[in-house]
Structure 1
């Protein structure tokens, strides 16, 4: 309690908290996009519950990992060397998560681009996409993103209370934003493809990070922001064309 009171009176602690909250929210975007796409494949009455459970699990995982900060830091210690790079447990977790994201995004892109040729496979996959299966996949990616998130937090501040508060605020933001984002993705088919492209890029980035090639997050998010802006302009253009077409139809 004494440590918390001291931190409350320290301007540097508040700056660290705000910075870390922003970082955690940005890092949580990847997780949120994946959860939105995955839960949208469930029956409508299960989607909201699946999103809440998925984001709740992310909070539990991150708080649990914060309780083992000393062990988390050791995850960056190399355990073997290959191709001139020392691989740590963190690297292996990032590579595994990246491969899963690339596989999942590629599979969904195939279904969206060519639904006729994959119709039977798509129906089978939708039938087997149970609530438990969706939560299992969300949990797997929660683990990957949580490890990356906590290691980032540990690198930014040594104070555990600041980390805990930042994680709770970031997950609360994810919880509030999850349903509007999922609904927006569902109502705009082109956004689904764009989001899957984001997941493919994020998965590739995770694999590269695990292999020792640092990819500045700013470049990744700048590319995502630019692509999103272009898609927004396309949406306005489509709506304008639809409105003009409807106006002409009324005249005739």
Structure 2
């Protein structure tokens, strides 16, 4: 209790908590986009429960990984060298997760643009089993959770701060999951934009795994710019569809 009280009275701890919460929320956007797109392919009555389970699994994984911080830190130790780069278990996990994300996003883009495909994201039909969706969500949860925890360990040594940041970030994800998924489902162009984001994120994970670190600020700035352009396009389309004012 004295340890927690000293943390609560330390301004530096509050600053670290605020920074870590912001980072966890931003990193959670990647996970939330994937969960939203994937669960929109389930029967409508099961989508919300799948999102809650997916986000709940992310919480369990991150809290579980926080309990093994010493082991997680060792994942950054190189175990072999190839192409002039020492690969650690973290690098292998990032590359595998990035490849899966690129494959999944490419597959969904193909299904969205192929007029003969029976797996249209915007058709409103169930094209994925509940268990398959949960397994795929769990795979990406693991990748994002390990990356998130390693980043958190680099920012603070205090486990309670990490736990609070994870809890707040997951709570934000739970609140945003249904509105975001509903918005994506109702706007086909947003689906394609989100899939493009997933391609970008997957490519970034692969590059990071091979030792080419791309600052996340650049990635999220590009995503924000693309989202702002699409918002203007949506506003322009809405104005064209609205009836002219009566004379």
TM-score in terms of structure 1 length:
0.94
State whether residues 41 and 127 of structure 2, in contact with CA within 8 Å, keep that contact through their aligned partners in structure 1: no
Q: How far does residue 122 in structure 1 lie from its aligned partner after superposition?
A: 6.0
Name the Cα RMSD after superposition.
Answer: 1.5
CA distance in 1, matches of 2:76, 2:96: 15
Partner of 1:163: 162
Deviations 1:118-172 (CA, angstroms, capped at 9, x unpaired): 23x669xx76611000000000000000000000110000001000000000010
Q: SS at the partner of 1:78? A: coil
Q: SS at the partner of 2:220? A: helix
Q: SS at the partner of 1:156? A: coil
Partner of 1:91: 91
Q: Kindly tell me: are residues 216 and 230 of structure 1, through their superposed partners in 2, closer, same or farther at Cα, counting changes over 3 Å?
A: same
Alignment of 1:139-154 (within 5 A): 139-154=138-153
CA distance in 2, matches of 1:188, 1:90: 36
Partner of 2:52: 52
Aligned length: 244
Alignment of 1:111-190 (within 5 A): 111-116=111-116, 118-119=117-118, 129-190=128-189
**Structure 2 stretches of 5 or more lacking a match?**
none
Are 1:10 and 2:10 an aligned pair?
yes
Partner of 2:234: 235
Are 1:224 and 2:220 an aligned pair?
no
Partner of 2:77: 77
CA distance in 1, matches of 2:244, 2:93: 55
Q: How far does residue 247 in structure 1 lie from its aligned partner after superposition?
A: 3.5
Q: SS at the partner of 2:79? A: strand
State whether residues 42 and 126 of structure 2, in contact with CA within 8 Å, keep that contact through their aligned partners in structure 1: no
State whether residues 76 and 89 of structure 2, in contact with CA within 8 Å, keep that contact through their aligned partners in structure 1: yes
Deviations 1:98-131 (CA, angstroms, capped at 9, x unpaired): 0000000000000111132x23x669xx766110
Partner of 2:206: 207
Post-superposition, which runs of at least 4 consecutive aligned residues in structure 1 deviate over 4 A? Answer: none
Q: SS at the partner of 1:18? A: helix
TM-score in terms of structure 2 length:
0.96
Q: SS at the partner of 2:81? A: strand
CA distance in 1, matches of 2:72, 2:204: 21
Q: SS at the partner of 2:90? A: helix
Partner of 2:25: 25
CA distance in 1, matches of 2:126, 2:20: 41
